[in-house]
């Protein structure tokens, strides 16, 4: 079987890219797999492409300093919306820079016409909406969702409601999001399933729980609420000045975070580490992972922390953390958006090495739930089931798409 993942930018750095690479690696053990990137903004991808997995970029946008300016991006984005992109995928998605090159959408349509893939999996709503229109009948078109339904705009939810029925199936990352979509889309129950992100098969290092380091990880974006994490860490730093907070993640939206660090006098104890290609290696140097997000599509960083024996402290935000963390066993969940509770939970584990070691041992066991092989098997079973269902519809997909 040949399986293709279509992603907005497979050459960049981000959680969706990393987890798609991981799943592609797992499936490539028994299938031919390629990753198709709408845009390509660098000669070499940020993450190494798994052995046996193909990668192709459909539209070159130029490396930093070689492409169009941000002002030009905005202009082109507005023109794209005015000239029809929004009619295909909605304004919310059309405004994203990875949909702006006029050549990208045409290249995707040509790819879908010519591909010999048996299964094409879209990895964000805009791509899934295009698959619902352009995927030929011979291709099994699957939507993979990385963001909670409630986190989409009302306009985008309307597009999803109208178009996703033309797809052959859909996967989400959590049972909570599966329940939300089941109440939102009138589709057969077996059309939709929850499949978590898998951990690659690796010999992971283990935390010794001796380093006075707390880690936060994820892109520099408002949804991660790192200023709140710094506020909580200030309580720890006040009582244990030897402890440090390291925040890993790319992006330029860190102005509020830097101001908060300076305001609280934590410039010597909080470090913005930037991007890393080896997050599990960095997590293994720490003793605790902290999650301050407003919302999580899944929480892959928590799973990666578990793989190296690092317990997590997290807001009980929608939806991922509560499905990964067993409160009091492999980590601590605190009331959503309660900064004082987040600080108290971090302080509890900072001050009790035996407890964080106990939770670390349990975390390693919990990471086993996300082992690659069982999740790949679930994917294969879902694809087989949806393929059989599509074959039983006597070509109805041809009448719905196009």
The pLDDT tens digits for 349-390 are 999 999 999 999 999 999 999 999 999 999 999 999 999 999
CB neighbours of residue 102 within 10 Å: 13
What pLDDT is stored for residue 353 in this prediction?
Answer: 96
- Over residues 218-227, the pLDDT tens digits come to 999 999 999 9
What pLDDT is stored for residue 367 in this prediction?
Answer: 97
What's the rounded mean pLDDT across residues 41-46? 92
What pLDDT is stored for residue 82 in this prediction?
Answer: 44
The two tokens of residue 71 are 């002002």
Q: Are 378 and 195 in contact (CB under 8 A)?
A: yes
Rounded-to-integer distance, Cα 292 and Cα 60, Å: 35
Max CA separation in the chain (angstroms):
68
CATH topology for 213-370? Rossmann fold (3.40.50)
Rounded-to-integer distance, Cα 48 and Cα 33, Å: 15
What pLDDT is stored for residue 361 in this prediction?
Answer: 98
pLDDT confidence of 173, banded at 50, 70, 90? very high
Mean pLDDT estimate for the chain: 91
- Over residues 256-273, the pLDDT tens digits come to 999 999 999 999 999 999
Say whether domain 2-199+373-400 belongs to CATH 1.10.510.10. no
Percent share of the chain, pLDDT over 90: 82
What pLDDT is stored for residue 63 in this prediction?
Answer: 61
φ/ψ of 67, rounded to 5, equals -90, -165
Range list of H helices, 154-266 = 154-163, 175-184, 226-239, 255-263
> 2-199+373-400 with 213-370: one CATH topology?
yes
DSSP label at residue 186? -
Rounded-to-integer distance, Cα 63 and Cα 210, Å: 41
* Residue 10 predicted with pLDDT over 80: yes
Rounded-to-integer distance, Cα 134 and Cα 361, Å: 48
User: What is the DSSP code string of 193-245?
Assistant: EE-PPPBP--------S-S-EEEEES-SSGGG-HHHHHHHHHHHHHH-TT-EE
Residue 144 pairs with which residues in a beta bridge?
Answer: 171
User: What is the DSSP code string of 284-316?
Assistant: TT-SEEEE--S-BSS-HHHHHHHHTT--EEEE-
What pLDDT is stored for residue 70 in this prediction?
Answer: 47
What pLDDT is stored for residue 65 in this prediction?
Answer: 47
What pLDDT is stored for residue 324 in this prediction?
Answer: 97
Which strand (E) or helix (H) includes residue 142?
Answer: strand 140-144
What pLDDT is stored for residue 100 in this prediction?
Answer: 66
* Residue 149 predicted with pLDDT over 60: yes
- Over residues 227-236, the pLDDT tens digits come to 999 999 999 9
What pLDDT is stored for residue 23 in this prediction?
Answer: 98
Q: Are 290 and 234 in contact (CB under 8 A)?
A: no
DSSP label at residue 273? E
Q: Are 171 and 27 in contact (CB under 8 A)?
A: no
What pLDDT is stored for residue 399 in this prediction?
Answer: 43
What's the rounded mean pLDDT across residues 38-61? 93
What pLDDT is stored for residue 253 in this prediction?
Answer: 85
Q: Structural domain boundaries of the chain?
A: 2-199+373-400, 213-370
What pLDDT is stored for residue 80 in this prediction?
Answer: 52
Angle between helical axes of 154-163 and 125-134 (0-180°, round to 10): 30
What pLDDT is stored for residue 244 in this prediction?
Answer: 98
* Residue 74 predicted with pLDDT over 70: no
Q: Which of 278-287, 298-307, 366-375, 388-397 has the lowest mean pLDDT?
A: 388-397
- 140-144 sheet: strands from edge to edge: 53-60, 32-40, 2-7, 119-122, 140-144, 169-172, 192-194
pLDDT confidence of 69, banded at 50, 70, 90? very low
What's the rounded mean pLDDT across residues 100-109? 83
For residue 58, give the nearest of 120, 102, 118 by alpha carbon: 102
Residue 271 pairs with which residues in a beta bridge?
Answer: 246
């Amino acid at each position: 079987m040949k399986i293709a993942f279509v992603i907005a930018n497979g050459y960049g750095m981000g959680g969706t890219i990393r987890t798609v690479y991981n799943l592609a690696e797992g499936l490539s053990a028994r299938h031919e797999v390629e990753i198709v990137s709408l845009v390509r903004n660098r000669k070499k991808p940020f993450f190494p492409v798994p052995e046996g997995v193909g990668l192709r970029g459909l539209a070159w946008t130029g490396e930093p300093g070689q492409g169009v300016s941000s002002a030009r991006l905005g202009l082109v984005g507005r023109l794209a919306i005015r000239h029809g992109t929004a009619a295909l995928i909605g304004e919310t998605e059309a405004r994203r820079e990875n949909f702006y090159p006029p050549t990208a959408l045409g290249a995707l349509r040509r790819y879908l016409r010519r591909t010999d893939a048996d299964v094409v999996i879209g990895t964000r709503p805009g791509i899934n909406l295009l698959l619902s229109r352009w995927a030929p009948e011979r291709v099994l078109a699957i939507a993979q969702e990385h963001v909670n339904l409630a986190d989409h705009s009302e306009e985008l939810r309307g597009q999803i409601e109208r178009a996703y029925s033309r797809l052959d199936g859909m996967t989400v990352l959590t049972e909570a999001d599966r329940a939300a979509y089941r109440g939102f889309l009138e589709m057969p129950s077996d059309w939709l399933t929850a499949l978590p992100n898998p951990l690659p098969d690796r010999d992971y290092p283990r935390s010794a729980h001796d380093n006075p380091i707390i880690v936060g990880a994820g892109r520099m974006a408002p949804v991660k609420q790192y200023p709140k994490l710094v506020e909580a860490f200030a309580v720890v730093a006040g009582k244990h000045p030897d402890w440090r907070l390291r925040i890993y993640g790319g992006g330029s939206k860190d102005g509020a975070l830097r101001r908060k660090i300076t305001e609280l006098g934590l410039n010597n104890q909080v470090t913005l580490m930037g991007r890393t290609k080896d997050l599990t290696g960095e997590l293994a140097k720490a003793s605790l992972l902290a999650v301050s997000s407003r919302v999580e599509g899944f929480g892959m960083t928590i799973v990666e922390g578990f793989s190296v024996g690092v317990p997590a402290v997290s807001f009980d935000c929608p939806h991922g953390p509560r499905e990964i963390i067993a409160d009091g066993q492999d980590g601590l969940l605190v009331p959503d958006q309660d900064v004082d509770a987040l600080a108290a939970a971090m302080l509890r584990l900072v001050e009790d090495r035996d407890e964080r070691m106990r939770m670390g041992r349990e975390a390693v066991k919990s990471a086993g739930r996300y082992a690659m092989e069982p999740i790949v098997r679930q994917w294969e079973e879902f694809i087989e089931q949806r393929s059989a269902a599509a074959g039983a519809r006597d070509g109805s997909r041809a009448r719905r798409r196009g």
